[in-house]
């Protein structure tokens, strides 16, 4: 029983309820918080992070912690990608490049988190750092020449992507740069994706390259610390996620989706990706609860709009309406309902008309600086 | 655009995402947070508060604030129930007993919150304070004798319930007491319900009386302050709610449900009510996500259990299993998934068997000290 | 006792502590949260809000709620400033312009919150809306001509300031504008201050006017709702405050300080005001905890800096150092200690040298776009 | 600049302040949150945790993470105490028992966190698990017989204490038990302290033994996970701390204080310890801000009480007063001011009298079930 008995007047057995805070937080309940993003027609929306370190390279946690963090934070799949060439803990920790995956995988299996074997090929620019995932034996990537390491990964069927192309220590004259070596890798089927987001950094140029060169978009944490050191996971903050639109929840389906470029970026509360993914994500998240409202005379009406996802969408009006004053901006917080205030403009003719109100979603970009266009449909009955 | 540009090294256009905290909190978005409790077969689960004050008696806010608070906090219906007999602001505020309802109703209509006209008949014990709701004219309740006030309410078709029966200033020799007058009121169809919870107080005796005498259960805030002064609405705390299982979302359906005793209490994270309501509430909230698990040898398996409601359920094991060790206690936080760890007990025969694991829900009571009995069903494959 | 006994194995009396969350939140403890801003030499730093509404004009709470909110939020003084000319509740509420002050004052006295009698003279532009505070009889301001109302206030010794000069309904051709009437008011000693911040809006032009014309700076909430509807007071958000540097904590001292222009703005986590106030506020808030550090060779050292105030200061490096690499930006969260990482630059000569590191405080402005210049002093011993 | 420009009407340059949430949380500022507990006359109050694991035994983080967590959480000193005999990661991680200390120490030195070399001697009961701290070479504790391990520690000058005496796998017939071996260890100067709190468990028997046998009290986390997995460090929760009352902030002073038994427990919001420490902690934390109040007739007065520490004190009235009604219970949240409501009782004679109001501090125990007795002193002027 969780009642708390008050010190009572005259024996009366009134009781006081404990705040629900208590049950959730004392002691900490080991729990998974789902990331609420809708599935798309034909695809499940898997939340993934494909760039993660452990004590087996320069990370600071044991590999099983990565599976536990992923489970608690609602992820479906992670790749463990310790550095092949950089192992500052090697005086104390095994240099077997497969071990971190094996340990993380064991705990992942218990929790039904998909754990993918990967490695970070860690070279100077060009080509910089690349992650190879879906490996069968990471040891084979320990080669002298970077070309051999990449080929060894590809020979295992790996999917390979360029990490943090705008990372400051590897810039060229202070600029992010696509090198001829990257063209070559793409042409030889040795590079299939690119990190558009790494940690808290977004690289618009990488975003453009991904669109132009048909590379798969990635958004990964590149986490080294316990994840709570870098993300306020209890305060609405979230780690960067690569959304994978997969036919099912399996490693094979993730791999198939990556090679087919079915991903989007979810980072810092923003979505980046192709319109064919962002539009259904928005449409399946946002509903007009009151599709029909009445405005009397020069009055107003509130349209109630619910956002069932965890993303807070920021909408900006694309154009004005003849008969209606529509707010210039509306914020749709995740898991909440808000009011869109409509006002009669001028003296509208009496009668009912449908409006497809056009908005741009400022935090859903189909390309750098290109917000997604959406419409909210509402019927308005103008009366006297 | 909501990107925040960093001061950049060498002109590189890396950008940093703003934390999502920003969008939600700056400035405060006027938003409704739904109370997640499932509907029941044939009924909608309406979240209601039938005991609310304004400046028109001894409350401290304008009536429209009550509609706004109700909308923001996910309520479906409220009753405005200012005191008839106690009006400490009368030197400055109108004593028209219908005005607070009228004002609250105006704003409620804009927000689609159902606002019910009520009054608190405020007398010494017996019979104490009673709320009459679904009135047509509150002015008629201003009578000398309490019997006349109650009759005047009933003549308008009102539903009448006893408020805070364990309120300390009205105890009898320090004890909560059912008076002959209350028997009379019930027998004459002049009292139909009772507050089992008022504010943060729970009265087990009132709970027993409600069951024995077939009174409708109520859980109301009796709020006088701005609600944020008494409830930590941003920290997981919630005001007490009367759950009404109604055929539709309308005042008529609420009234029909109240007279038919289709209510439950949701207060301080606890549910109180008849098993016919609590069981389907639990069953529609809690799902076993991994209905089939495998235990190897003397090992363990994790069953993942998701709770889709806002209630944090606290389960205690009712009995032991022959082949399985089951945790004595398990907490199912709202909107989260948790792990139920099962361990092989002794040396179970190999093979797959289904288990209906019996638990008591410590915070769902069908009567004082009578927790709801539930089962979680899981199939276990024992292997070597 | 607040221990929670676990269901025990074998009778052992281990106990589990309840999380501290419990004590603070269940039920809500009525408490005052201080605003931590240091006093200045010779002056107390009083936290004030001089623009507040109640149900006696178009506000939505009873006046005593304003005193309660002020107490809970750590304020020293408030002015109740209901509109003289705009009283939408007059069908139900008294139009005595002194009543809201009297009621708020009664509760303020109990809580030791200073409550000042004021009124908002509410006219079209020019001169727009003006607050008159330290009145003796607000009724005398109900005049036909705005000139008479202002004079009536001044005759009572009132301090008068211009409210929200950039409020959109009163712009001139869409622009904020200083009218000849305002010049006249200032010259005739009938206008002494100006709101540089109203609610969440900041008016840089008003800030410039205040500096040029020697007007007292104000930052007020102009609150109409329960304050929790507009400010996330439990989540680090705060209402706008006028900081008054007063010789003591009394209404007379507040008045003397206002006429002497001893105020600053604290709004949205920013400080605006004269350097003679902002500099000692910063210096009394921020301390270098490790004034002497050692850097070995080309290594690094962490200087620990503590910020004892509630303001989060954002510092940007003003210039580079010869021997040291200093971060371009450093955030000093309120009530926290952070690390300033210094690195050897080039090959510094061995030996100890003191550095006065120059920074601009991005969120402390002495004028629009003019951040406060500060220095952090630290001694560095360079060794091999 | 951190202003956020609104989309503007007519060019007016109003701006909106960003909520302070933004600055603190985006990205996560690496910051230290002090634990606010006052120093005592002659002693600094150091916040310490003497039982901590890393990947070098069965912990899950790299040793430097422990120094970082300690710094962020306001600790002064930690001991790294990996198991000597239990090393489940030995296939992958070095078994050098000194390494975890050396690595943690390196980062601790950068952050000015005191890091103490320790080991957990991990044996079956009796004597169970013991921590030896202030070692010079942990390798020497790897002996066959537990007696030799303890002696090897003591030969290095170690302070030795018994860990989690009520840990369920090591109970005797389900009971916590003091064995003859423990007597022997104490008599031979080989055991000096005992964990009264380990993690979230409190052992009242151990508390009694510590008092009777003059053992130093400990409260340690025994943390294996990243600390954020077990403690809601962003939500007011805190890890268990051993408070050490030391002459200065140095390892030598900690050691001297431990051998002199100058410690107290701070765990789950509770304090346990000798009255000579708890009383000055309370007295230096709690202040009556309004030492003189006036009660008119049968009225009331509010005494304002401020608690400058982080501990939320729960006070219960020890006895009644003749002329005053004093609340039965009062909660003093940390860093907050609350109101103690006094009411005239009966008809007190006019005049001013001082009252020393006696309370028990329910969450400050000098022994199991023995709350600290304190008084709050206030002068009351009774008037007509």
Residue with the two structure tokens 């087919």? A260
Candidate from D17, D20, D197 with C-beta closest to C200: D17
Contacts of B22 in chain D (CB under 8 A): 18-19, 21-22, 26
Q: What is the mean pLDDT of residues C248-259?
A: 98
Cβ distance B194 to B218 under 8 Å?
A: yes
Q: Is the dihedral of CA A89, A91, A92, A97 positive or negative?
A: positive
- Burial class of residue A177 (count of CB atoms within 10 Å of its CB; 0-12, 13-18, 19+): middle
Looking at residue C3, the DSSP 8-state letter turns out to be -
Only one residue has tokens 């007795």, namely D373
Which of A190-199, C316-325, D230-239 has the weakest average pLDDT?
D230-239
Q: A229-253: per-residue pLDDT in tens?
A: 998 776 678 999 999 999 999 999 9
Average the pLDDT over A35-60 and give the result.
Answer: 98
**CA dihedral in degrees (B371, B373, B376, B377; nearest 10)?**
180
pLDDT in tens, D44-70: 999 999 999 999 999 999 999 999 999
State the nearest Cα–Cα gap between B344 and chain D, in angstroms: 18
- Helix segments in C20-165, DSSP class H: 20-25, 63-72, 99-111, 146-155
Among A259, A281, A295, CA closest to A379: A295
Is the confidence at residue A380, as pLDDT, over 70? yes
Assign B234 a pLDDT band (cuts: 50, 70, 90): low
Q: Identify the sign of the CA torsion C272, C276, C281, C287.
A: positive
**Residue range B252-268: average pLDDT?**
97
Residues of chain D found within 8 Å of residue B18, distances taken between Cβ atoms = 22, 26
In angstroms, the CA D57 to CA D87 distance is 4
Among A318-322, C218-222, D52-56, D326-330, the minimum mean pLDDT is found in A318-322
- Share the mean pLDDT of chain D: 92
**And the tokens for C314?**
């954002």
Candidates B109, B85, D190; CA nearest to A294 is B109
Residues 6+ apart with CB under 8 A from B355: B321, B324, B377, B378, B379, B380
> Which structure tokens are listed for A91?
């005086």
CATH classification (class only), B32-273: alpha beta
Identify the residue among B225, B231, B362 best suited for mutation to test binding to C, counting C beta carbons within 10 A and taking the highest.
B225
* Six-digit token string for C94: 């008294």
**H or E segment and range at residue A245:** strand A241-246
Contact B323/A at CB under 8 A? no
Cross-chain Cβ contact D268/C16 below 8 Å: yes
Q: CB distance from C27 to chain A under 8 Å?
A: yes
Percentages of chain D per state (helix, strand, coil), in multiples of 5: 25, 35, 40
- Would you call C332 exposed, middle or buried from its count of C-beta atoms within 10 A (0-12, 13-18, 19+)? buried
**CATH hierarchy code of domain B285-383:** 2.60.40.10
CA distance D269 to chain C (A): 5
In chain D, which residues have their Cβ closer than 8 Å to the Cβ of A226? 61, 65, 226, 228
Task: Return the number of other C-beta atoms located less than 10 Å from residue A283's C-beta.
Answer: 13
Find the residue in A nearest to B176 (Cα).
Answer: A12
Q: What is the DSSP letter of D11?
A: T
> Which 8-state DSSP code applies to residue C247?
S
Rounded Cα–Cα distance for residues A130 and A78 (Å): 16
pLDDT higher than 60, residue D383 = yes
CATH T-level assignment (fold) for domain C33-273: TIM Barrel (3.20.20)
Give the tens place of pLDDT for each residue, D243-264: 999 999 999 999 999 999 999 9
Put simply, the chain B residues between 222 and 281 with a CB less than 8 A from any chain C CB are: 225-226, 228-232, 234-235, 237
What residue has token string 């002693």? D43
- With 0-12 CB in 10 A as exposed, 13-18 as middle and 19+ as buried, what is B160? buried
C25·A16 Cβ contact <8 A: no
A117 Cα distance to chain centroid: 21
Gap between the Cα atoms of D252 and D381, Å rounded = 52
Choose among C49, C62, C135, C124: nearest CA to C92. C62
pLDDT at A10 over 90: no
**How far does the CA of residue A62 sit from the closest CA of chain D (Å)?**
5
From A20, A203, A270, residue closest to B269, measured CB to CB: A20
More confident residue, D235 or C42: C42
Percent of chain C with pLDDT over 90: 88
Mean pLDDT of chain C: 92
Residue D3 has pLDDT above 80, yes or no: no
| Distance separating alpha carbons of residues D163 and D123, to the nearest angstrom | 11
Q: Say yes or no: domain C286-383 is CATH 2.60.40.10.
A: yes
Instruction: Work out the pLDDT band at B26, boundaries 50, 70, 90.
Output: low
Residue A298 sits at φ, ψ, to 5 deg, of -95, 25
Per the prediction, chain B carries an average pLDDT of 92
Residue D15 has pLDDT above 80, yes or no: no
D279 vs chain C: nearest CA distance in angstroms?
A: 18
What are the tokens at A343? 């006002």
Mean predicted confidence (pLDDT) in D303-319: 96
- Residue A191 DSSP one-character state: -
pLDDT bucket at A13, cuts 50 / 70 / 90:
very low
Q: Across the interface, do A7 and D329 touch by the CB < 8 Å criterion?
A: yes
B21 in reach of chain A (CB within 8 A)? yes
Touching C (3+ Cβ pairs <8 A), the chains are A, B, D
Q: Provide the pLDDT for residue B194.
A: 98
B231 falls in which pLDDT band (50, 70, 90)? confident
Inter-chain CB proximity A64 and D64 less than 8 Å: no
Inter-chain CB proximity C203 and D13 less than 8 Å: yes
D106 part of contact set with chain C, CB < 8 Å: no
CA–CA dist D352, D331 (Å, integer): 27
> A36-273 in CATH: which number?
3.20.20.140
Nearest to D243 by CA among D45, D80, D40: D45
Compare all CA atoms of chain D with the CA of C3 and give the residue at the minimum distance.
D363
Contact B234 C237 (CB under 8 A): no
Higher pLDDT, C298 or D13: C298
The CA distance from A258 to A18, in Å, is 48
Tell me the DSSP string of B197-265: EETTEE-HHHHHHHHHTTPEEEEE--B-S-GGGTS-TTTT----EEEEEESSSSHHHHHHHHHTT-EEE
Per-residue pLDDT of A121-172, as tens digits, reads: 999 999 999 999 999 999 999 999 999 999 999 999 999 999 999 999 999 9
Superfamily of domain D31-273: Metal-dependent hydrolases (3.20.20.140)
Q: Which residue of C has its CA nearest to A28?
A: C19
Residue C141's closest CA among C85, C103, C194? C85
* Chain B neighbors of D16, CB-CB under 8 A: 26-27
Q: What is the ipTM of this complex?
A: 0.92
Residue C64: closest C-alpha in chain B: B60
Contact with chain B for residue D300, Cβ under 8 A: no
On the question of pLDDT at B20 being above 80, the answer is no
Inform me whether the pLDDT recorded for B336 exceeds 60: yes
Between residues D356 and D9, the one the model is more confident about: D356
pLDDT beyond 70 at A63: yes
Spatial CA neighbour of C293 closest among C170, C368, C377: C377
pLDDT band at C224, cuts 50/70/90?
A: very high
How far apart CA C189 and CA A167 sit, in angstroms, is 60
Which range, of B79-83, B160-164, B237-241, C152-156, averages the lowest pLDDT? B237-241
For chain B, how big is the Rg over CA atoms in Å? 25
For residue B233, pLDDT beyond 80 = no
**Best-predicted range by mean pLDDT (B344-353, C344-353, D196-205):** D196-205
Cβ distance of D25 and B19 shorter than 8 Å: yes
Domain ranges of chain B: 32-273, 285-383
Distance of CA B221 to the CA centre of its chain: 10
Q: Which residues of C touch B329 (CB under 8 A)?
A: 7
8 Å CB contact between B323 and B346: yes
* CA A177/CA A199 separation, integer angstroms: 19
The span from the CA of A104 to the CA of D217, in Å, is 38
Contact between A32 and A58 (Cβ < 8 Å): no
Q: Hey, is B312 helix, strand or coil?
A: coil
The reply to whether residue A31 touches residue B338, judged by beta carbons under 8 angstroms, is yes
CB contact under 8 A, C230 and B27: yes
The vertex-A191 CA angle with A189 and A195, nearest 5°, equals 155
**Rounded-to-integer distance, Cα C204 and Cα C221, Å:** 17
Note the pLDDT of residue C27: 66
At residue D26 the predicted structure's pLDDT band, cuts being 50, 70 and 90, is: low
Of B174, B267, B363, the CB nearest to A9: B174
Closest CA to C97 of C54, C61, C44, C36: C54
- Quick one: which of C61, C56, C69 has its CA closest to C119? C56
Inform me whether the C-beta atom of residue D282 falls under 8 Å from chain A C-beta atoms.
no
């Amino acid at each position: 029983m969780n009642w708390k008995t008050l010190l009572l007047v005259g024996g009366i057995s009134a009781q006081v309820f404990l705040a629900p805070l208590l049950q959730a937080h004392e002691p900490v309940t080991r729990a998974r918080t789902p990331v609420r993003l809708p599935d798309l027609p034909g695809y499940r929306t898997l939340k993934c992070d494909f760039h993660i370190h452990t004590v087996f390279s320069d990370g600071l946690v044991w590999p099983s912690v990565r599976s536990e963090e992923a489970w608690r934070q609602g992820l479906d799949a992670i790749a463990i990608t310790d550095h092949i060439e950089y192992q500052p803990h090697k005086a104390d920790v095994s240099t077997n490049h497969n071990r971190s995956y094996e340990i993380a995988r064991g705990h992942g299996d218990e929790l039904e988190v998909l754990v993918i074997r990967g490695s970070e090929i860690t070279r100077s620019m060009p080509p910089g750092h690349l992650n190879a995932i879906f490996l069968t034996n990471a040891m084979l990537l320990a080669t002298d020449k970077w070309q051999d390491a990449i080929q060894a990964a590809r020979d295992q069927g790996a999917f390979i992507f360029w990490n943090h192309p705008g990372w400051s220590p590897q810039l060229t004259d202070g600029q992010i740069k696509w090198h001829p070596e990257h063209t070559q890798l793409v042409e030889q089927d040795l590079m299939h994706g690119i990190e558009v987001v790494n940690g808290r950094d977004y690289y618009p140029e990488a975003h453009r390259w991904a669109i132009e060169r048909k590379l798969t978009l990635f958004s990964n944490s590149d986490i080294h610390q316990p994840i709570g050191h870098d993300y306020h996971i209890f305060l609405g903050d979230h780690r960067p996620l690569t959304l994978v639109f997969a036919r099912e929840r399996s490693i094979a389906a993730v791999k198939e989706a990556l090679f087919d470029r079915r991903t989007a970026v979810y980072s810092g509360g923003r979505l980046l990706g192709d319109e064919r993914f962002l539009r259904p994500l928005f449409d399946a998240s946002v509903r007009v609860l009151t599709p029909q409202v009445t405005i009397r005379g020069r009055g107003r009406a509130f349209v109630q709009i619910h956002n069932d996802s965890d993303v807070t969408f920021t909408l900006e009006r694309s154009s004005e309406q003849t008969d209606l004053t529509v707010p210039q901006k509306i914020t749709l917080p995740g898991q909440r309902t808000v009011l869109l205030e409509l006002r009669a403009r001028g003296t509208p003719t009496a009668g009912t008309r449908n409006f497809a109100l056009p908005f741009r979603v400022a935090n859903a970009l189909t390309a750098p600086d290109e917000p997604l266009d959406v419409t909210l449909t509402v019927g308005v009955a103008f009366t006297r």
